[in-house]
Amino acid sequence: MKRSSSAVYRGLLAIAGSLNRSGQQEADHAVGEVRSLREVVEGYASF
């Protein structure tokens, strides 16, 4: 569980970095990546 929470933390850092760099479009892309990562994690958790 600790491992996946650190992945989420890194995802949040990536979102913050993309906001600083290029604005909303980059941030939306990063949010999409984090959401798909979360779906994968939840899929593994359901097994």
* Residues 4-47 pLDDT 10s: 788 888 888 887 776 666 666 766 777 888 888 888 888 888 76
**Domain extent for 19:** 2-45
For the chain, what is the domain count?
A: 1
Instruction: Output the pTM of the full model.
Output: 0.35
| Residue 26 · residue 18 · CB < 8 Å | yes
- Beta-carbon contacts of residue 14 (< 8 Å; ≥ 6 apart): 30, 33, 34
